[in-house]
Every structure is written in C-alpha cells, then in structure tokens.
Structure 1
Amino acid sequence: MKIALVTNDGETISQHFGRSRYYKIYTVADKKVANTEMRERGTGHFAQQPQPVHDEPHTDPMGRHGYGAAAGSRHGMMAAEISDCDILIAGGMGSGAYESFKAAGLEVILTDYDSIEEAVTDYIEGKIKNLYEERTD
C-alpha cells in the first residue's frame, strides 16, 4: 500500500492541500514502512503559481468550493500525480477536490495531525480519524 501526504517540508502535514509543494509517499508492507520518497507537486494549485491563479470562479453557482468549471480537470491532474497511491492524507482541502480524489479511487483522510510520521503510524495501526466534516469548506 502507498500513502501520500501533502507537505511543504517533508516533516509536517500541510494544512491546505492546494498550497502544498510536495507529496511525501510512504510504501507500507506488512504494517511496516518499506520506503519513502518526496515528489514535487507539478500541478500545484497555489504553490508554484503567482497569485491570482485563476480567471474562472472558484465556486459553483451553489457556492461550493472546488466545483468551478475547470476544477474537475485540475483535480484530475492532481490525482494523476499520485495514481500509484492508495491513500491521501492532508490537513484540509475543498470539498470538490475531496470528492474528485475519492472518485479517482483514493481513500482521502483529512486530519489535524501535524507530524507526518505520527499520522502514518496511526494510519497503519487504524487509529487515525477522518475529520472530513471539520476540514473541508
């Protein structure tokens, strides 16, 4: 199994998915970490782009974040970057991104953990909770 976590420094979980610069990927086998790697987010929503980054609205007519006209395409590109992963852990993200990642087959966990190591350990041990209701807009 592969777990992707969003980060800016490789140590802490980014609290905003769209502003993170990297994925830290953990390969887990037999409930033990077998490998780690850092991947730069090539489609960084905010991280690698000067502000403002979008000309189109960021919300749909109902006001939901991440459901604008081009959002599905952007979210698809983001999911493709971690298509070899099974789980995505982030501090928070828009509900449109959350739903897009789930539709791409990822288990998405939004958490208040700061430490990547602690989050991975607790995921492996079945202790981490998904705070979706609290961590999306």
Structure 2
Amino acid sequence: MKIAATYEKDTGNVFQHFGKTQYFKIYEIEDGKILSSEVIDNGGNGHHALPPYLKSLGVEILILGNRGQGAIDAIAASGLKEIPGITGSADEAAALFAKGELKGNFDAKCDHHHGEHHEH
C-alpha cells in the first residue's frame, strides 16, 4: 500500500497547510512495516489538483495537518482517504499508520474552529 504525508523538507515534519504543500513523502507499506520511502515535489499542482495527482501515483491514504473545505472536497472526490490533524515527524506518523495506531483529528481545518477537546 502507498501512503503519502505532506512534507516539510527542512524539519522532516508533516507540513501543516495542505494547499501550500511543496513536497510529499511517499511510503510503501506492507505487513505493518515501511518498506521504502521517497520525497517528491507537488508536481506543480495546486490544492485542488493535488489529490488526483497523488492518486495517479498509486497513493491510497494521505496523512496531513490542516486543510480547508476545498481541499477536503477535492480529497474526497479523488477517492483518497485522509488522516488529518497530524503534527510532528512524518516518518513517525507513517510508522504509527503501518502499525494501525495513527489517529487523525477530523476537526483540523484551516479556519477558526479548533477542536482541541475532542477525544475518542
């Protein structure tokens, strides 16, 4: 399975604004382990074109920070599954995902609503 994380090259962290993502880190995952990874650029695409671009690369799951309603709609329309609201190391997030332990925050949006008290 291929997953992608919005990626901040300088820090290795999940980039927090989907629509301004310059890079993605693509991970190949099998049997609960990361087999390989590579950093790619955004292909010159804007936020509405990013989900179909990732889908064309075989990505099934997108790990990201915050996103606006336009991105939410574009991600859903492309058939990608998203795990939003992720902060910190992209590699750690991918490893948690591989083990089935990554939990997203679907309240993570680029607006003034912050669902900090929502827990599962």
TM-score (norm 1): 0.71
Structural RMSD (CA): 1.7
| 1:128 counterpart residue number | 102
What SS is found at the alignment partner of 1:131?
A: coil
Contact kept, 8 Å, 2:18 with 2:66, in 1: the verdict is yes
| 2:21 counterpart residue number | 20
Give CA-to-partner distance per residue, 1:68-87, whole Å, 9 cap, x none.
Answer: xxxxxx61x21222111000
Larger radius of gyration: 1
1:116 aligned to which of 90, 94, 102: 90
TM-score (norm 2): 0.80
How far off is 1:136 after superposition?
4.3
Moved over 6 A (4+): none
Unaligned runs of 5+ in 1: 46-73
Greater mean alpha carbon deviation, residues 1-10 or residues 22-31: 1-10
How far off is 1:112 after superposition?
3.4
What SS is found at the alignment partner of 2:13?
A: coil
Contact kept, 8 Å, 2:2 with 2:61, in 1: the verdict is yes
What SS is found at the alignment partner of 1:91?
A: coil
Q: How many residues align?
A: 108
| 2:81 counterpart residue number | 107
Unaligned runs of 5+ in 2: 112-120
| 1:3 counterpart residue number | 3
Percent pairwise identity? 31
